Amino acid sequence: MKQKLIRALKQLSHGPLEPAVSLLWQLMTHLQRAALLAVWCLTGAPRPTAAQQKLVCDNVTFIFKSFERQAMARRLYRNIQSYYPGVRVVIADDSRRPLELAGPGLTVLQLPFNSGLSRGLNQALSRVTTPFTIRMDDDELLTPFTDFHGHLEYLLAHPEVDLVGVLPRNIPGSYDPRRAAAPYYRTSMAHAPRPLRIPHLTRMDERRVVVGKAPNIFIVRTDKYRALGYDDNIRMIDHQEFYFRAAGRIVSTLDEGCFILHEHNRFDGHYQKFRADVDGDRRYIHDKYTVPRGEKR
């Protein structure tokens, strides 16, 4: 029922009702976010201690790509600083109008309009000097349950693991961790050119499990991340291709109990026009991994 309603709203969003539908979606998102924040405040949800904040600031750089959602980019930067004051943040922005934002620890890279996600992330990653990197998207927010300081402590203690992924909690909507994690349990990367170094779904502890593909919200060892990087020829659909190449080269895990808030507006027609322009990516990825007849990969 929910998916049918979303499809119907999407159809409306491409017509004259687009501004109204988009505004309604934003209102629903705002109300649910406010309700969640109120509950977390009243229940005393944990915040990073001064020692945890320092650990992150000393070891981590946040990077994210921004495109035509500058209010979200500013909001995410402020959100990150509210949890880890002074932490380094690198934003790669390829919006039509330059991102106007300044603050502690911040580097903004202004790229040519619509340069693409992969190119922007590579540019941001090139500026990272810390041993660990946290990768996010501009329509996300940290929560008291994201626990990047806990993931950092885990990686420092477990050199056999390179990446810890965090689940997205989509709002407006309900939250079922099992449903959010299901796509990552199903993706073993068995078809990748190299087998995983630790088998898919190996449980590392009570919270973390090895996965062939983790979410695109993660903390990772910078040297391993930079060695992989992204293919600049892929504008938008980098996720599967990144983990395909990562198989056998890094060990990725998923923390099943932690999450960020994800507020993607499906009815922002201007943004979706560029976000949905992926036919070229699909052709490029197909050609990149198609082995000509008679040849071996």
Cis peptide before 172 (omega within 30 of 0): yes
- For 208-228, b/e burial (b = at least 16 CB within 10 A) is bbbbbbbbbbbbbbbeebeee
Report how far residue 196's alpha carbon sits from residue 225's, in angstroms, rounded to the nearest whole number: 16
> What pTM value is reported for the model?
0.90
pLDDT in tens, 234-253: 988 899 999 999 999 999 99
- For 38-51, b/e burial (b = at least 16 CB within 10 A) is eeeeeeeeeebeee
Mutual angle of helices 18-42 and 2-13, in 10-degree steps? 130
CB atoms within 10 A of CB 286: 9
Q: Inform me whether the pLDDT recorded for 231 exceeds 90.
A: yes
Report how far residue 106's alpha carbon sits from residue 90's, in angstroms, rounded to the nearest whole number: 6
Q: Nearest Cα to 208, choosing from 243, 258, 156?
A: 258
| pLDDT band at residue 21 under the 50/70/90 scheme | confident
Kindly state the tokens that stand for 256: 């099943």
What mean pLDDT is reported for the chain? Answer: 90
Contact between residue 153 and residue 55 where contact means Cβ atoms under 8 Å apart? yes
pLDDT in tens, 47-104: 999 999 999 999 999 999 999 889 999 999 999 999 999 999 999 999 999 999 999 9
Whole-number pLDDT of residue 245: 96
Q: C-alpha distances in angstroms, 168 versus 9, 43, 58, 272? A: 22, 21, 26, 19
Kindly state the tokens that stand for 120: 């922007």
pLDDT in tens, 194-229: 999 999 999 999 999 999 999 999 999 999 999 999
Contact between residue 106 and residue 66 where contact means Cβ atoms under 8 Å apart? no
